[in-house]
Structure 1
C-alpha cells in the first residue's frame, strides 16, 4: 500500500469530471508501456521462526535503517519512525514499504521488459537479504502466514493502518487477517486509451481466478493444513464487500473511466491526510468530502491527492488507477514472482494475445465468473468450469501469454526472450500441482508434519 509524504496541498477538486480526467491521463502510447511488479514477504527470526517486531536492534525498523545506510535509499518517516524507503531515481528501484503486520513490500520501478524485472527482483532480494541476514532475519514468500496467530503479530507504526484496523471488523470477519497475515505479488500494467483500458480490465478480472489457481501458495494456518489452495484468496472473500470483488459492472455496456469513478465514489473512505497526520473519517462519503461536508473536517474540501489516496483503499481483484493492477496471486518463490509479470505482459501487451484472451472470456457470464472466484481458493486448478477444469483454461491462457511474449521478441544479453519467465507455469500445468500442492506434499512427507521445516527450506 502506498505511503503518503507531507508536501503542499493539492488543488481543490471542483467537479467529478476532474476525477475522470485524472484516470484518463494514464493513457499512454504503446511505446511507453511499462511493467511494475510489487511483492510482499513475511519476515521471521531465523533462530526460532517467530515473527519479527518493528522495534528493537533486530526489528524491521532496524532493517530499514541498515538498508538506508548501506544502499542509500532515502528513508520516509512517520512520527520519527522509518516506515518506508524510496529510490525513485534508481534505474531499478522504486520503494520499499511495510504492510500492517510488518510484511516487507517492494514496489518496483516501471520497467520495459521482464528481463529488467528479473534484475530488479534479484537486486532487491540480494540487498535485503544481506542486511537481514546480519540481523538474524529471514523472509518467506507465501500468500498467508503459515504459523503465527493474529495475537503474535504487531502493528507497524503507520496511523492509516490503525484507522483500518478499527474499521475493518465492522465490514467483514477476516479484514484483520487480510491486513496482518496475507502477502501477495501483483503487476501494474499500462493502457493506451479508454477502450484499451476496458478491454484489459475485463480480461484481467475474468482471468484473475486463473492466476489465483496457478500461483496458489497458502495452504497452512497456524501450523496446520487449512484445506485451501489459496487461503489468502479466501480471506479476501470476507474482508469488506464495499471495496473488494469482481466488479461485474465492468462488463456492462458503457463501461469506461466515468463508471469506475462512480464506483469509487460510492466506496466509503478510511482517512484524510492533513498536516502530516491521518484523520479517521472511516465510513464517510468522498462526495461529501468534495462538498466540504465531512463531520470530522467541516468546511475542508478534497484535493486531488485525497482522491489518489482514496483510490489506494479500493481492493477489487483488478484495480484501476492511472494503470491497471492485477491483484489475484499469492506471494511466492523467485520463479513465481517472475512468472506473474510474464503472464500478464504476454497477455496484455501483444494485440493477438489480447484478442485471444478477450475471445476466450467473451461468453462467460457474471455468474460463472463469480462461481469460479468463489471456488478457486479451495479447489485451485481443479475448479470445474463448464465441461472441464480451470487447469484446462489455464493451459489456454498460458499458451496465449507464451505467444505474446514470443512476438514481443525482447531478448536479454544471452539472446533469450521473455518466454523463459513462464517456465514455472508450464511445470505447474504439466504436473497439475500448484505451489500449495508441493508444500502439502512436503508437509505430509519429508517434513513429517513439522511446519518449522517450511522456514528452513522455503526462505527467499
Structure 2
C-alpha cells in the first residue's frame, strides 16, 4: 500500500466497517485497473543491496525522483520514504528491504497500464543510472542473505520484523527478499464482488505458475519454481492463504469484516509514531480492550491500515487485489492485469471461469495452492494438470479482452498484452524452468547473469 490512510473519525459500529468496504461498489462504466509492481534495487557494480543512506542510496534515489516528477514526498521522522502524485496519479513506496514499488494510477485500459509503466521506468532510469543503481525483475533476490539486506526507515516495518518470527518461519524473507506484481480490480455489487473473489482465489495458482520466477536463494537452486509463493505458505497463516470460508453461503462484505476483526493487528498509527499492538485483534481494539491503547476506539484510518496488513491470496479493500504472482521483468508486467481483466471484467468470461472452478472443493483448491510453488504447471487438481487449466484460462481471458474491445492507437485490443503468457504456454515451461535451464547451461551455475538479463 502506498501510504497509510488518515481519517481520525472514531468508529461507532461494525456497520461502518461494512459500509467502508461497500463504498467500493461502482457501475461497470467506472471500472478501473490498478497495477502495483515491486523491483529489487541493486548496485550495478558488484550486484549488492542498496542502502537507504548515502549519496548513492535509496533516499537519494527518492529525492531525485521527487525533483524529476514534482510529486509530494511522504516523510517519516525526517526521512523520505515515498512519493505520491497529488493529481490522483500513482505513488512510489518502499518495501522493507528497499524494494521499490510503483502503485499505478487507476486507469481504464491495459494499454494505459503499459504506457504508465514505460514512463515510470524511463523516469527511474534517469535518476538511478547515474547513482549506479539497477533494478531486478524477479520474485525473490537470487543471491543475498537476509542479513545483507538493509532495513528501510519505516516504523511499521520495525514492528512487523519483531512480530513475524513468532508466527511463521518465512515472514522476514517475505518482507526483505520478495517482489510481486499485483492487479487491483473493481466490482459492481456485493454479489459481483463475491463471484470475482471466488473465481480469482480459485485461479490464483494459475497466475503463480504463469509468473513463477524465484528458483534461487543465496546463489543456489532452492528446489521451487516460485519460492516467493512457498514463503507465503508459512509467513503468518492467521492473515494469509486461500480463505475457504469465502466460498461458503452468506459470503459478503459483512463476512469479510468479521474475518478482518479477528486477524491480529501489527500497529496503530498515532501522529508520526507507530504503536506496537502486534498480536492483539482489531475486535479487541474495537471493544476498547487494546492493552497498548486502553479505552481508545479505532478510527477509519486504523481500519484501512489494518486491512492493508491482511495478506490472503486475494484481498478485499474497496477493490479486489490479485496477490499470487512473482515480480517479473518489465516486458511481462502488463500481462498480469491483462490476464485478470480478461477473466473478470467480461460477464460471459466470468461465468465461464466460475463454471471451471465451482465444483472444486476447499481441500482441492488448497492442495493445488500447496503444490504449485514446487511443481508449477505439473501441479494437479482432480484429474487435470494445471497446465491444461492455464491454457483454458488464457483462452477465456483472450476472448474477454477481445469482447471488451479497447483499442490502442494501432487498432490492437488488449489481448496483445497476453502474448508473453502465450509464449510461456507454447514452450510448456514456467519462466523459472527457463531460468533454471540457463543456470545449468549458459550461466555456468551462477545467478550473476540474472542481473543483466532480468534487469529493468
Q: Structure 1: any 5+ residue segments left out of the alignment? A: none
Could you tell me whether the CA contact under 8 Å between 2:138 and 2:454 is conserved in 1? Answer: no
Question: In structure 1, the residue corresponding to 2:82 is in which secondary structure?
Answer: strand
CA distance in 2, matches of 1:458, 1:24: 40
Aligned counterpart in structure 2 of residue 254 of structure 1, from 226, 250, 256:
250
Cα offset, 1:70, TM superposition? 1.7
- Runs of 4 or more, structure 1, over 6 Å off, are none
1:135 maps to what in 2? 131
Question: In structure 2, the residue corresponding to 1:212 is in which secondary structure?
Answer: helix
TM-score (norm 2): 0.99
Could you tell me whether the CA contact under 8 Å between 1:335 and 1:421 is conserved in 2? Answer: no
Could you tell me whether the CA contact under 8 Å between 2:4 and 2:301 is conserved in 1? Answer: no
CA distance in 1, matches of 2:69, 2:108: 24
Measured at CA, do residues 88 and 390 of structure 1 come closer, stay the same or move farther in structure 2, by a change above 3 Å? Answer: farther
**389-398 vs 447-456, greater mean Cα deviation:** 447-456
CA distance in 1, matches of 2:214, 2:84: 29
1:14 maps to what in 2? 12
Q: Deviations over 1:54-110 (max 9, x none)?
A: 1111111100001111221211100000000101416xx310000000000000000
Cα offset, 1:387, TM superposition? 2.1
Cα offset, 1:224, TM superposition? 1.1
2:70 maps to what in 1? 72
CA distance in 1, matches of 2:365, 2:137: 28
1:85 to 2:88 alignment: no
2:184 maps to what in 1? 188
Q: Deviations over 1:165-200 (max 9, x none)?
A: 010010001100000001000000000000000000
Aligned counterpart in structure 1 of residue 411 of structure 2, from 412, 415, 423:
415
CA distance in 2, matches of 1:302, 1:370: 34
CA distance in 2, matches of 1:449, 1:110: 42
CA distance in 2, matches of 1:4, 1:11: 15
Q: How does 1:222-241 map to 2 (within 5 A)?
A: 222-241=218-237
CA distance in 2, matches of 1:218, 1:322: 30
CA distance in 2, matches of 1:332, 1:347: 21
1:361 to 2:354 alignment: no
TM-score (norm 1): 0.98
Q: Deviations over 1:340-397 (max 9, x none)?
A: 0000000000001001000000101111100000000000011122222101000000
1:28 to 2:26 alignment: yes
Question: In structure 2, the residue corresponding to 1:452 is in which secondary structure?
Answer: coil
Q: Structure 2: any 5+ residue segments left out of the alignment? A: none
1:202 maps to what in 2? 198
2:379 maps to what in 1? 383
Q: Deviations over 1:124-174 (max 9, x none)?
A: 111011111010000001111100000000110000000000100100011
Question: In structure 1, the residue corresponding to 2:256 is in which secondary structure?
Answer: helix
Could you tell me whether the CA contact under 8 Å between 2:204 and 2:313 is conserved in 1? Answer: yes
2:114 maps to what in 1? 118
Cα offset, 1:213, TM superposition? 0.4
The RMSD of aligned alpha carbons is 1.0
Q: Deviations over 1:212-264 (max 9, x none)?
A: 00100001000011111100000000000100000000000110001110000
Aligned counterpart in structure 2 of residue 324 of structure 1, from 312, 320, 331:
320
